[in-house]
Amino acid sequence: MPADLLVADRLTRAFGDRVAVRDLSLSVAAGEIVALLGPNGAGKTTTMRMLAGLILANAGTITIDRVRVSESTANNARRAIGLLTETPGLWERLTVRANLLTYARLQNLDEPQQQVNRVLEQVDLADRASELAGKLSKGLKQRAALARALIHQPPVLLLDEPTSGLDPASARHVRDLIAGLRDQGRAILVSTHNLAEAETLADRIAVLKTELLAFDSPAALRNRGEGIEVMIEFEDGSRQGFTVTELSHVPEIVTRLVNEGRRITRVTPDRRSLEDVYLSLVGTDA
Amino acid sequence: MSPGWGRITALARKDAAELLRNPGAIVPPLLMALGALFPGFLVIIGAPMFAGRTLEESGDFNEAVDVIATMPELVGLTGNALIQAFLFHQFALLLLMVPVVSATALATHAVIGEKQSKALEPLLATPISTVELLAAKALTPFLFALALTWGTAALYILGSLLLGEPGVWQTALGPRTFVLFVMVGPLIELATLLVSVVVSSRANDPRSAQQLTSLLILPITAVFIAQLMGAFVIPVAALLLAALGLLIMNALLLVIGVRVFQRETILTRWR
In whole angstroms, what is the distance from residue A100 CA to residue A131 CA? 12
The strand pairing partners of A191, in sequence order, are: A36, A160
Query: B46: burial class by Cβ within 10 Å (0-12, 13-18, 19+)?
Result: middle
Select from A150, A214, A159, A143 the least CA-distant residue to A6.
A159
Phi, psi torsion values for A73, nearest 5 degrees: -105, 0
B13 to chain A: which residues are within 8 Å by CB? 102, 105
State the pLDDT at residue B271.
62
Q: Which of A94, A101, A108, A135 is the best mutation test for B, with the most CBs of B within 10 A?
A: A108
Name the helix (H) or strand (E) containing A172.
helix A168-183
The nearest CA of chain A is from the CA of B105 a distance in Å of 17
In whole angstroms, what is the distance from residue B143 CA to residue B103 CA? 9
The nearest CA of chain A is from the CA of B203 a distance in Å of 18
The end-to-end CA distance of chain A, in Å, is 36
State the pLDDT at residue B228.
67
**A78–B127: do the CB atoms touch at under 8 Å?**
yes
The nearest CA of chain A is from the CA of B30 a distance in Å of 21
**Chain A with chain B: Cβ pairs closer than 8 A:** 84
State the pLDDT at residue A164.
85
B127 to chain A: which residues are within 8 Å by CB? 75-76, 78-79, 106-108
Task: Give the helix ranges, DSSP H, for chain B.
Answer: 3-20, 23-41, 47-51, 55-58, 62-68, 79-92, 97-116, 120-124, 130-163, 175-178, 185-200, 206-213, 217-230, 236-260, 263-269
**B67 contacts: CB under 8 Å, gap ≥ 6:** B231, B232
From first to last of its 286 residues, what are the pLDDT tens digits of chain A? 678 999 999 999 999 899 999 999 999 999 999 999 999 889 999 999 999 988 889 999 999 998 898 878 888 888 999 999 989 999 999 999 999 999 999 999 999 999 999 999 999 999 999 999 999 999 999 999 999 999 999 999 999 999 888 888 888 988 999 999 999 999 999 999 888 889 889 999 999 999 999 999 988 887 776 667 788 999 998 988 888 877 788 899 999 999 999 999 999 877 667 787 888 888 866 5
Count of residues in chain A: 286
Q: Which residues of B129-167 are buried (b: 16+ CB within 10 A; e: fewer)?
A: bbebbbbbbbbbbbebbbebbbebbeebbebbeeebbee
A93 to chain B: which residues are within 8 Å by CB? 17-18, 21-22
For chain B, residues with pLDDT lower than 50 are: none
**B119–A90: do the CB atoms touch at under 8 Å?**
yes
The end-to-end CA distance of chain B, in Å, is 35
Strand A18-29 to strand A156-160: parallel, antiparallel, or no bridges (unpaired)?
A: unpaired
Q: Which of A18, A78, A83, A91 is the best mutation test for B, with the most CBs of B within 10 A?
A: A91
**A145–B18: do the CB atoms touch at under 8 Å?**
no
**A145–B122: do the CB atoms touch at under 8 Å?**
yes
Residue of A nearest to B14 (CA): A102
**B117–A55: do the CB atoms touch at under 8 Å?**
no
Strand A228-234 to strand A204-209: parallel, antiparallel, or no bridges (unpaired)?
A: unpaired
Helices A96-106 + A112-122 axis angle, to 10:
120
Contact between residue B122 and residue A89 where contact means Cβ atoms under 8 Å apart: yes
The strand pairing partners of A32, in sequence order, are: A187
**B7–A15: do the CB atoms touch at under 8 Å?**
no
State the pLDDT at residue B229.
65
Phi, psi torsion values for A95, nearest 5 degrees: -70, 165
**B127–A105: do the CB atoms touch at under 8 Å?**
no
Q: Looking at this protein, which amino acid is placed at residue A171?
A: A
